[in-house]
Amino acid sequence: MTTLSEAASKALLAPHGVPFLDERTCDTADSAAAAGDELGYPVVAKLNGDAIAHKTERGLVRLGLSDTDSLRRAADELLEAATPEDGEVSVLVAPMVSSNREFICGVSTDPQFGTTVLLGVGGILAEAIADVSIRLAPITERDAHSMIDELRTSDLLGAFRGSPAVDRDALVALLVGLSSVAVAEPDIAAIDLNPVLIVDGKPIAVDALVEVAA
């Protein structure tokens, strides 16, 4: 099994309609700082590489960087934290966004049933309530709507704590996009979008991991 970097995973998924933030992949601290100036602060910086699947556990994510100097320092620290086992690395710089609603979307390959598409509640509630919906790929828009309605916590999709209702059509498009890439790329074994944040009603995947069968 081969794991693609976050940047490569997003590049593979974006043409299929999976929504991501405007991000920059940078090789140096100076280029990261320039990216932050271009994107606008605050930003997030993450170490990016094919061998880096679990960034948070290794402390390879810096959140809420509010100016050029803090971003440059963070990028230096991240690049210095890379190990020889990580191979070629870079720093991924993205706008900092937040949300009071998180979802998990993905694709997995079941040895008995084949390729499936998943939608679930994410964030701190994910393990506590285990609220997920799964369909065999390929899925239609109707299937995706059914997946959304099947969630026990589907009330989270309505107006919530001052935030607008989730754009259902956009969430449907995301799920159908995952299905289409899984069908178009049969070597894909798994796709993990976690978390998918709801920002101004729109779903945005802020992290992505694609695993490809060797």
Q: 54: phi > 0 → left, psi -120 to 50 → alpha, else beta; which? A: beta
- Interhelix angle 141-150/168-184, nearest 10 degrees: 120
Domain count, the chain: 2
Residue 12 lies in a domain: no
Residue 148 lies in a domain: yes
**End-to-end Cα separation, the chain, in angstroms:** 5
CB 44 within 8 A of CB 95: yes
Residue 17 lies in a domain: no
Please state, in angstroms and rounded to a whole number, the distance separating the CA atoms of residues 40 and 43.
7
Range of the domain at 165: 102-212
Q: Tell me the one-letter amino acid at 81.
A: A
Q: Give the C-alpha distances (Å, rounded to integers) separating 32 from 27, 145, 155, 189.
A: 7, 39, 39, 32
Same domain, 171 and 112: yes
Q: Residue 51: exposed, middle, or buried by beta-carbon count in 10 A (0-12, 13-18, 19+)?
A: middle
Same domain, 55 and 113: no
Per residue of the chain (214 residues), what is the pLDDT tens digit? 899 999 999 999 999 999 999 999 999 999 999 999 999 999 999 999 998 877 777 889 999 999 999 999 999 999 999 999 989 999 999 999 999 889 999 999 988 889 999 999 887 666 666 789 999 999 999 999 999 999 988 777 888 778 899 999 999 999 999 999 999 999 999 999 999 999 999 999 999 999 998 7
Instruction: Report residue 59 as tokens.
Output: 């402390």
Half-sphere exposure of 184 (CA within 13 A, CB side): 10
Please state, in angstroms and rounded to a whole number, the distance separating the CA atoms of residues 162 and 48.
34
The domain that holds 33 is classified in CATH as 3.30.1490.20
pTM above 0.75, yes or no: yes
Token pair 């593979």: residue: 12
Residue 15 lies in a domain: no
Buried b (16+ CB within 10 A) or exposed e, 145-171: eebbeebeeeebbeeeeeeeebeeeeb
